[in-house]
Amino acid sequence: MSVTDAPPAPPASTGPQTRKPSTRKRLVPYWLLLPGILWLLVFFALPMVYQASTSVQTGSLEKGFEVTWHFRTYWDALADYYPQFVRSLLYAGTATVLCLLLGYPLAYLIAFKAGRARNLVLVLVIAPFFTSFLIRTLAWKTILADGGTVVDVLNTLHVLDVTSWLGWTEGDRVLATPMAVVCGLTYNFLPFMILPLYTSLERIDGRLHEAAGDLYATPATTFRKVTFPLSMPGVVSGTLLTFIPASGDYVNAELLGSTDTKMVGSVIQTQFLRVLDYPTAAALSFILMAVVLFAVTVYIRRSGTEDLV
C-alpha cells in the first residue's frame, strides 16, 4: 500500500481534546461493553467450560462424576451415533436448500413487486411465529395425515411411488418418513430465510435494474449479474440462520419422524435426560458444535462475502 493512499489528516480544528481524551473518557466504551461481556461470560463462556469439563468426566449420577480426562467418550459417541450426525446435516442441508428455493422468489416479490401490499405480506410471513413452535409442528401431522387430502393427491399422481423408490417416503404414507421431517424443518425455518433475503433485496437500487436493461441485459442476465450478487449477504445470513438451528433441532424429527429419522438433537436429549449419561451428551454437543462451525466457516470462505446483513 503506497503512502499516498493514506487518508488525509483530520482538520486541525478538531483540536487537542480529541487527541488527549481523559482516562474517564477512554474507559467509557468499556463500561458500556461491560453488561454484554458479563452476559457472555455467565451465559456462554462458563457453560462452555462446564460442558467441556463434563465431556471428559466419568462416573454415575449416584456416585458422582469426576474429571478423568476420558477423551474416549468423544470417539465412542461418534462411533455409536454417526448415522444421526450424517442425517442431521443431510436433513438440515436439504431443508436449507428448499428454504432458499421457496424463500428467494417470495422475498423478491415482496421487495420489488408487492407495492402497497408489502407490509401485509411481511406480516403474513411472520404471522406463524405468533403460535407456538410445537403447535405448528403438530399441525403438520394433520396436514400430512395418511388419509388426508395431501397424501391422497400425491398418491393419485403417483408421486409417492417415486419418493418411496428414493427412500424419502414409506409405501403410501408421508408421516413418519424422512420427507415429513424435511417438510417440517423447511416450514419452521422458512421465515428465517425470507427476512434476511428481503432486507438484502430491498436495499438494491431499482435504477440498477434499469441501467442493466439500458445496457441490453436480458432479465435473466440482470438477475444473474446484478440482483443475485447484490443479495449475497442475505443469502449467506439466511442459509446460516436456517442451517444452524435446523441441524440441532429435534422436535420435527421427534413428532413427524420415526425411529430411522432421529436427528442428533434427539440423541443428546435422550442421553442427558433418560440415560443420565452426561459426559456422552456433552461430548455429542461439542462434536455437533465443531461440525457446524467447520461447515459454516468453509461456506463463508467460499461464498466470498464479508457482510452478513
Q: What residue ranges bind other proteins (CB under 8 A)?
A: 1, 5-8, 10-11, 13-15, 18, 49-50, 52-54, 56-57, 59-67, 80, 84, 138, 141-142, 145-147, 170-171, 173, 175-176, 255, 257-262, 266-267, 269-278
C-alpha cell of 67?
474429571
Strands 57-60 and 64-67: antiparallel
CB of 83 to other proteins, least distance (A): 9
CB of 64 to other proteins, least distance (A): 4
67 vs 293, beta carbon nearer other proteins: 67
CB of 7 to other proteins, least distance (A): 5
**Angular region, 59: left φ>0, alpha ψ -120 to 50, beta rest:** left
C-alpha cell of 31?
463500561
117 vs 153, beta carbon nearer other proteins: 153
45 vs 117, beta carbon nearer other proteins: 45
Query: What's phi and psi for 173, nearest 5 deg?
Result: -130, 160
Q: What residue type is 31 in one-letter code?
A: W
**Contact at 8 Å (CB) between 309 and 238?**
no
C-alpha cell of 3?
503512502
CB of 276 to other proteins, least distance (A): 6
* CA-angle at 157, arms to 155 and 163, nearest 5°: 65
Helix/strand/coil for 136: helix
CB of 164 to other proteins, least distance (A): 11
Using CA atoms, how far apart are residues 233 and 307, in angstroms rounded to an integer? 6
- Taking alpha carbons only, the member of 288, 276, 290 closest to residue 248 is 288
CB of 178 to other proteins, least distance (A): 12
194 vs 236, beta carbon nearer other proteins: 236
99 vs 263, beta carbon nearer other proteins: 263
CA distances from 234 to 89, 192, 243, 308 (A): 21, 11, 14, 7
67 vs 309, beta carbon nearer other proteins: 67
